[in-house]
Chains A and B, each alone.
Chain A
Amino acid sequence: MKKIFVYISVLVLATSCTKLSSLNDDPKKAVVVPGEMLFSSAEKSLYDNLMSNNVNLNVFRLLAQYQAQVTYITESRYDLGTRNIPQAFWQALYRDVLKDLSAGKALIKADSALLPADVIIKKNKLAIIDITEAYTNFILVTCYGNIPYTEAMDINKLDPKFDDQKTVYYDLLDRLKADVAALDVSQGSFGSADLIYQGNVASWIKLANSIRLKMGLVIADVDNAKAVEVINDAATNVFTSNADNAILKYLSSEPNTNPIWVDLVKSKRKDYVIPTTLVDPMNATNDPRRPFYYTATTPGVYVGGVYGSGNVYSSYSHVSAKITAPDFEAILIDYAEVEFALAEAVARGGFSVSGTAADHYNKGITASITYWGGSAADAATFIAQPTVDYTKLSGTWQSKIGMQKYIALYNRGYDAWLEWRRLDYPILNAPVDIAYSNIPVRLTYPVSEQNLNKTQYDAAAAAIGGDKVTTKLFWDKF
């Protein structure tokens, strides 16, 4: 019988001799991966989050009044706290975009390149990641104000400080300038891992400059000299046609479809109609983009709903089948926008941008109409109308460029909201019982920052003048 105990003891001992620490490895996950694949993931996340039509994440189409809600009107009445939207958007950009970019950057930096060409390719990759980081931070800083920047992306810093928004903004401008200088067209970069330009370095230079042009105008009201410096340097090599557009071509099956399809079609929900804010001015000008933008209620008739109230879905125009297609491509920055920016630079004066404001304005409209599916002739007819013609329209350049840029930026809620805050045009419709001055001009900080990073949060809220949706950011002078 004693043998039995020997057997049992041996069994017990044998089992306990297994290497304990190796048991804890995850056999289903990778610990080392190529940095390029993190960059691809970040690019996709950036587009997904800006394109999202999910009321829990991205409500910029409501803030810009490209959409009105049908039954549940909480968010269009500017209650953004119930669904914690500021937190979702902040989290998406920091965690899903910036973290993958910074981790990818670190991994690529650690690659020891062997050939001279590889050295250039590596440098190009790092510059491209830096441009993407700068653009993402640009969205954050213009959405919230002061943001964690110098101490962000550091897990050893659990209470990152919020940097001054203007300092961050100027640093982003410097980084973009340096990135453009660093990019070397003699070699490629990411190749197919770059979902936007397939690694084409020249395209990235144009994109970086187009971003600089956009960013320059944002500060033109508060620091014209800096705006001039930035734009004069950048505007010489920006997008020159729709072929330059920074687009992501979504695929037809999940999980790589356009998120709009997921939110509006797959969900089977009918939550949004197009409000009068967009439909009425387009009706007034017989805009040829209407059938591409939204549906007709009866053939050729487009009717806008009431922003901020309930609407019967079927009584109003809603998002078009073109946009809700699963593989509808998404735009980060496009040529039309660049032309409107150039028009504005000329209209403002003091910039070394050639051409007339009207010329750039017309090019912007034409680029938009032809991009969406209209013909050049449609564009020409449209522009010739006195209600559109830059030279015949009354009003300030802000109102003229503001309205046409608003129409051209359709479906890009964040950009439209940024332009509205900057140009104060077009005039939006305040919901019943809500004052125009209470329309949000920034998002509040996430609740998670209040809970988890309170000291820095309090300092930031005080520094920007209060953590309210009505607090104007540093560049929003008017």
Chain B
Amino acid sequence: MKRALLFLTMLMVSVTLAFAQQRQITGKVTGADGSPLPFATVQIKGTTTGTTTDQQGSFKLAVTGSNPVLTIRSVGFATQEITLGNSNAITIKLKEEDKNLQEVVVTALGITRKKNELAYSAQTVSAEELNRTRDPNVVNSLSGKVAGLEVRRNSTMGGSTNIVLRGNKSFQNSNQALFVVDGVPIDNSTTNTSDQASGRGGFDYGNAAADINPDDVQSINVLKGAAAAALYGSRAANGVIMITTKKGRKGLGVTVNVGGTLGTMDKSTFPKYQKQYGAGYYDQDDSRYESPDGHFLYRDIDGDGQKDLVVPMSEDASFGAKFDPNLMVYNYRSFDPTSPQYKKPSPWVAAAHDPSYFFKNTTTSNTSVSIDGGGDQGYFKLGYTKTIENGMLPNAKLAKDMLNFGASYNLTSKLTASAAVNMSKVDGKGRYGTGYDEFNPMQGFRQWWEMNVDVKQQQEDYERTKLNKSWNLQDPNNPVPIYTDNLYFMRYENYEKDNRIRYFGNVALNYKITNWMNLLGRVSMDTYTQSQEERNAVGSKNTSSYSRYDGTFGEYNYDLLLNIDKEINNNFKFTGLVGGNVRNTRVKYVREETNGGLVVPKLYSLSNSVNPIQAPVEADSALQVNGIFASVGLGYKKMLFLDLTGRRDQSSTLPKGNNTYYYPSASLGFVFSEVVHAPWLSYGKLRVNYAQVGNSAPAQALIDAYDKPSGFGSVPLFSVPATKANAHLKPEQTKSFETGVEASFFQNRVSLDVTYYSSKSIDQILRLPVSRATGYDQIYINAGTISNKGVEVSLNVTPVKTRDFSWVVGVNWSKNKSKVLDLPSGVDFIQLGSFTLQGGITIGHAKNDAYGVIRGTDFIYDKSGKKVVYDADGDNPGYYEKTGSANNVIGNYTPDWIGGITNTLRYKDFALSFLVDMKHGGDVFSLDQYYGQGTGIYASSVRLNDNGKNIRDAVEDGGGIIFDGVTPDGKTNTQRVRVSGTRGLGYNGFPSKAFVYDASFIKLREVSLTYSLPVSLMSHIKTFKGIDISLLGRNLWIIHKNLPDADPEENLSAGNIQGYQSGVYPTYRTFGCNVRFRF
């Protein structure tokens, strides 16, 4: 922002030359600590002659007259006048100005305001803070840096990140914060399917805000509450991430960044396997295996007439025979004629290469160039960034090209035209499968695996044949894959490909009617087209197939704003805004796939379908909102500020009569430091505000239309859709109240911002699940109330500040408490997603509970809270009893509080910064533990029992477990029971509740060390204005967590379904280096 202001200042100073009797003076402008101040303006008082300082704070200026007075201005410093005298070389030290009074922030609709005038909470993140560790997804970079902002990422390549401000407010509609770039809303939706979001499988195609070029970001201002964002009307409920891009400055500047990162697996987020038992679901009562010892298949493989031991290859569990290198068995390679092991046995041993062998180090490379320049009449900027990311799985690559151009030109002294165009292209290949899906190798590695399977051998088998040589064969008589393909075959043959090309930007004309009033007309657009192609090669377990999705998104905004900023007299200031906005959004897509297989292998085209393809799924929806708005601001003596705003929206997605609605807000700020004068108090402000905003209905929710399944032969079919439309919807509303105090002390060495807020969201637009006896799954309805209350604290402390050394600590902390106050009558739970999640889990909302309740089966407890086991004469004696229904509340994913601490240490030209990011509370259900413990792949399944024996040993031999609990009659359980492939551990013996974990974590999220080549050195290298070298690290260390073998932060997709893990990927520690050249 500083530069934009500076630029404006510069415009006022037109440089004129050539006076008689002039002399050349040279000077240097520095701060109080002596550090050079680049871009300061130096002006001869009473004239329009002047210049700016360079990177070293130096300037040259021709002056006339004997005693000229220079006025020196620099943003953040008090303006100083100096009488030159006869000196021809001077050094001017500027005093820092109280930055609270001067700092400007970008508020709703792109309007800049002084921070001290704001009566609501807004927190700024600078480009430097944001891009310290250069995450390719700008959304990830916000984690831990803003109080009240919760970011949930995942480790898939280019995966989506969930971003929520001040808690979830909408039961089912989007809770994602609105992204606005230079005043223009940018889409941040995902195109992930509902199956993907609920863990049933599919690819995570990421969130669209990842298309924003991190290198083009100047600063991010986060408008957290409704009052701050009320001018956005129906989109403001979830808060706004306002991104301001870089502007050009006077002269020519070129910046080049070159960098790369290397990622290595954080082993604490990957399973620890047992290495003692191999394939099988052995249980002594279960006679499924044929060999005399009951662990193997028993067939004559080598043709000698004697039966041989064969690994039960179809069994994706490791509750089989104990490994014994002297035991020779036939495994899947014995049935592969191309294998050297064909018809030969191998020793029965644990695999030399467990699943971790499958993972590679990740790499990214990043190159960006930005050029900017400007003169008296305008500026331009041009930026290009290319990132290439190679994922942790084989054959995974994501390439991004981002190009941006921005320019502004003063057509006349009053009229300025500006434009910004951004183009991005994202090409993905081999994104990772997610959830419970055969395209997700983690499903096997965390849930269903044989510890005798050597992953390196699988690689060799694929590379030798390029065929689907799976370890998971159905039977020796029919050696074809049953559940799992060869994972290398899957990655190299069944990969997906996707592509998104996006353009967004705006053109604007700004007419300065008077120096206190301007009129802005702006047309902006955000459009993208994307395609996704998925394939199953001939030879896969699945029927071969090719499917594609082609979609377009377009949003157009038309704004007309009259902006007034007038100092009426010394005491009163008036700001005002009147405007109109038309927003038009259109989303279209087509999805289609082959039917019955592919005719020609490796030809991925729809025409290569065995059977005629079915009609594609087509969608086409539009929505428009017409809004008019006004705001009035009154300021009294830089002390009292009152803002009133109002907006009226008319939405196409609501029925006539209900489609017009109003959003008012009122804010009051009181700068008490204008009244209370104390030496230790630098600045202080109290603020309070109230606002009412809302959400309109999704498109096409008003009118019933029929589903059209494919006809039965030549007989056409129609069907009533599962969701009943509602012609009487009205907008959902959020009423919010906020109060806070901002204060800084000891010459701004300590600054504090504390906010309390409370919001209540009513008339939620729900797809309310209903009794299926109505003939529908759900109906659109306005119902339900949720409240969110919370506290946010930002604290900045500069414990040390000397000329050479400084240390700054920034703390962000927030606590949000949500409560479902009301649900429609007769309904005690609203489920998110249309399916029960695997593991019998539902996630949703229960009355009087926080947002995001996890429900499932629970233990049965006696009066003292002890777990009950079945008694000796019932079914399954000695094992835990489970509730019959899956309706029990067993967790809640909403965290208790989140926080981040950033430390920045500077010593001369070195800067070291590190961010500790943390989340406390909130639960996660792990389907990985639910199944993985049951299939006996984890090290925990071979632990010792109270006898000091392996729990897998037979009960007669002292093995087994006595489960901690009581019998139904209240006696301590003493029944020793066996642990086997069908009972005891994981899903085989425990209710879902046992797999709900506390999702708290403390992470060392970011570390960076930057070295700027000293000015003294730079002056010798004429080409460069500066070189900065930084070493960086992301997600380096999970200092604390309670979830075993996985990162508690890991999610499936952005969206409202959180707190559920299925086949999640390990977290990678990323190390990198970046060099920035400034020319």
Task: Give the interface of A toward B (CB within 8 A).
Answer: 1, 4-5, 8-9, 11-12, 15-16, 18, 20-21, 23-31, 33-34, 37-38, 40-41, 44-45, 70-71, 73, 81-84, 87, 90-91, 94-96, 98-100, 102-103, 147-148, 151-155, 157-160, 192-193, 195, 251-256, 266, 268-270, 306, 309-315, 432-435, 438, 446-456
Assembly CA distance A192 to B714 (angstroms) = 9
Q: Is the CB of B560 within 8 A of A12?
A: yes
- Which residues on A sit within 8 Å (CB–CB) of B831? 451
Assembly CA distance A256 to B709 (angstroms) = 10
- 29 inter-chain pairs at a CB distance below 8 angstroms, sorted by A residue, are A4-B509, A12-B582, A20-B659, A26-B700, A26-B703, A27-B620, A28-B619, A31-B703, A34-B718, A44-B712, A81-B886, A96-B719, A99-B775, A99-B776, A100-B720, A153-B775, A157-B774, A159-B826, A195-B712, A256-B710, A256-B713, A270-B475, A310-B286, A312-B312, A432-B285, A433-B875, A435-B875, A446-B772, A452-B769
Given contacts A15-B558, A31-B704, A81-B885, contact A159 B712 (CB under 8 A): no
Task: Name the residue of chain B whose CB is nearest to the CB of A306.
Answer: B287
- Which residues on B sit within 8 Å (CB–CB) of A25? 700, 703
Q: Is the CB of A147 within 8 A of B718?
A: no
Q: B626, B717, B829 — which one has the most chain A CB atoms within 10 A of its CB?
A: B717
Assembly CA distance A456 to B827 (angstroms) = 12
Q: Which of B864-907 contact A (CB under 8 A)?
A: 875-876, 884-887
Q: Is the CB of A8 within 8 A of B771?
A: no
- Which residues on A sit within 8 Å (CB–CB) of B596? 253-254
Given contacts A20-B651, A71-B281, A254-B614, contact A4 B719 (CB under 8 A): no
Q: Is the CB of A8 within 8 A of B705?
A: no
> In angstroms, how far is the closest chain A Cβ from the Cβ of B768?
8
Task: Name the residue of chain B whose CB is nearest to the CB of A12.
Answer: B558
From the candidates B314, B476, B704, B717, name the one contacting A270 in the complex (CB within 8 A). B314
From the candidates B706, B771, B885, name the one contacting A158 in the complex (CB within 8 A). B771
- Which residues on A sit within 8 Å (CB–CB) of B84? none
Q: Is the CB of A40 within 8 A of B715?
A: yes
Q: Is the CB of A160 within 8 A of B773?
A: yes
Cβ-based interface call for B192 (8 A): no
- Which residues on B sit within 8 Å (CB–CB) of A315? 290
Assembly CA distance A268 to B1079 (angstroms) = 62
Given contacts A1-B511, A253-B612, A312-B297, contact A192 B715 (CB under 8 A): yes
Q: Is the CB of B614 within 8 A of A91?
A: no
Assembly CA distance A471 to B744 (angstroms) = 71
> In angstroms, how far is the closest chain A Cβ from the Cβ of B372?
27
Q: Is the CB of B521 within 8 A of A23?
A: no
> In angstroms, how far is the closest chain A Cβ from the Cβ of B409?
14
> In angstroms, how far is the closest chain B Cβ from the Cβ of A263?
13
Task: Name the residue of chain A whose CB is nearest to the CB of B581.
Answer: A12
Q: B558, B713, B773, B828 — which one has the most chain A CB atoms within 10 A of its CB?
A: B773
Q: Is the CB of B774 within 8 A of A255?
A: no
Given contacts A20-B650, A98-B775, 19 further A-B contacts (CB under 8 A): A1-B411, A9-B521, A24-B703, A29-B705, A33-B718, A38-B706, A40-B716, A71-B288, A71-B315, A81-B857, A82-B886, A84-B840, A100-B720, A153-B773, A158-B771, A158-B824, A251-B712, A313-B475, A447-B886
Q: Is the CB of A158 within 8 A of B582?
A: no
- Which residues on A sit within 8 Å (CB–CB) of B714? 192
Task: Name the residue of chain A whose CB is nearest to the CB of B480.
Answer: A268
Q: Is the CB of B623 within 8 A of A154?
A: no
Q: Is the CB of A147 within 8 A of B773?
A: yes
- Which residues on B sit within 8 Å (CB–CB) of A26? 620-621, 700, 703, 705
Assembly CA distance A73 to B283 (angstroms) = 13
- Which residues on B sit within 8 Å (CB–CB) of A454? 826, 828
Assembly CA distance A25 to B705 (angstroms) = 9
Given contacts A95-B777, A314-B478, contact A148 B718 (CB under 8 A): no
Assembly CA distance A446 to B281 (angstroms) = 31
- Which residues on B sit within 8 Å (CB–CB) of A87? 772, 836
Q: Is the CB of A29 within 8 A of B885?
A: no
- Which residues on A sit within 8 Å (CB–CB) of B312? 312
Task: Name the residue of chain A whose CB is nearest to the CB of B700.
Answer: A26
Q: Is the CB of A270 within 8 A of B482?
A: yes
Task: Name the residue of chain A whose CB is nearest to the CB of B521.
Answer: A8
Q: Is the CB of B523 within 8 A of A11?
A: yes
Q: Is the CB of B840 within 8 A of A81?
A: yes
> In angstroms, how far is the closest chain A Cβ from the Cβ of B616?
10
Q: Is the CB of B623 within 8 A of A253?
A: no
Given contacts A5-B519, A20-B651, A310-B288, contact A90 B724 (CB under 8 A): no
Q: Is the CB of B560 within 8 A of A152?
A: no
Report B507-534 CB contacts with A as 1/0, cut-off 8 Å.
0010100000001010100000000000
Q: Which of B678-717 contact A (CB under 8 A)?
A: 699-700, 702-710, 712-717
- Which residues on A sit within 8 Å (CB–CB) of B700? 24-26
Q: Is the CB of B519 within 8 A of A24?
A: no
Task: Name the residue of chain B whose CB is nearest to the CB of A45.
Answer: B719
Q: Is the CB of B772 within 8 A of A91?
A: yes
Task: Name the residue of chain A whose CB is nearest to the CB of B726.
Answer: A155
Q: A45, A95, A147, A269 — which one has the most chain B CB atoms within 10 A of its CB?
A: A95
Q: Is the CB of B715 within 8 A of A94?
A: no
- Which residues on A sit within 8 Å (CB–CB) of B286? 309-310
Assembly CA distance A90 to B703 (angstroms) = 26
Q: Is the CB of B704 within 8 A of A28?
A: no
Report B271-289 CB contacts with A as 1/0, cut-off 8 Å.
0000000000101011111
Q: Is the CB of A40 within 8 A of B773?
A: no
Assembly CA distance A33 to B312 (angstroms) = 54
Q: Is the CB of B772 within 8 A of A94?
A: yes
Assembly CA distance A450 to B831 (angstroms) = 13
From the candidates B708, B718, B775, name the one contacting A152 in the complex (CB within 8 A). B775
Q: Is the CB of B776 within 8 A of A155?
A: yes
Q: Is the CB of B779 within 8 A of A155?
A: yes
Assembly CA distance A84 to B705 (angstroms) = 29
Q: Is the CB of A312 within 8 A of B289?
A: yes
Cβ-based interface call for B541 (8 A): yes
Q: Is the CB of B509 within 8 A of A8?
A: yes
Task: Name the residue of chain A whose CB is nearest to the CB of B508.
Answer: A8
Assembly CA distance A34 to B415 (angstroms) = 61
Given contacts A26-B705, A433-B875, A452-B769, contact A102 B775 (CB under 8 A): yes
Q: Is the CB of A251 within 8 A of B713?
A: yes
From the candidates B287, B718, B774, name the one contacting A155 in the complex (CB within 8 A). B774
Q: B481, B521, B626, B712 — which one has the most chain A CB atoms within 10 A of its CB?
A: B712
> In angstroms, how far is the closest chain B Cβ from the Cβ of A475?
21
Assembly CA distance A11 to B523 (angstroms) = 10
Assembly CA distance A8 to B474 (angstroms) = 69
- Which residues on A sit within 8 Å (CB–CB) of B21? none
Assembly CA distance A192 to B297 (angstroms) = 52
Task: Name the residue of chain B whose CB is nearest to the CB of A451.
Answer: B829
Given contacts A81-B885, A309-B287, A311-B288, contact A38 B720 (CB under 8 A): yes
Assembly CA distance A91 to B653 (angstroms) = 29
Given contacts A24-B703, A28-B618, contact A90 B560 (CB under 8 A): no
From the candidates A5, A148, A438, name the one contacting B511 in the complex (CB within 8 A). A5
Assembly CA distance A159 to B391 (angstroms) = 51
- Which residues on B sit within 8 Å (CB–CB) of A312? 288-290, 297, 312, 475
Assembly CA distance A87 to B509 (angstroms) = 59
- Which residues on B sit within 8 Å (CB–CB) of A310? 281, 283, 286, 288, 982
Assembly CA distance A82 to B991 (angstroms) = 10
- Which residues on B sit within 8 Å (CB–CB) of A29? 705-708
From the candidates B619, B772, B840, name the one contacting A448 in the complex (CB within 8 A). B772
- Which residues on B sit within 8 Å (CB–CB) of A30? 705-706, 708, 718
Task: Name the residue of chain A whose CB is nearest to the CB of B596.
Answer: A253
> In angstroms, how far is the closest chain B Cβ from the Cβ of A254?
6
Task: Name the residue of chain A whose CB is nearest to the CB of B856.
Answer: A82
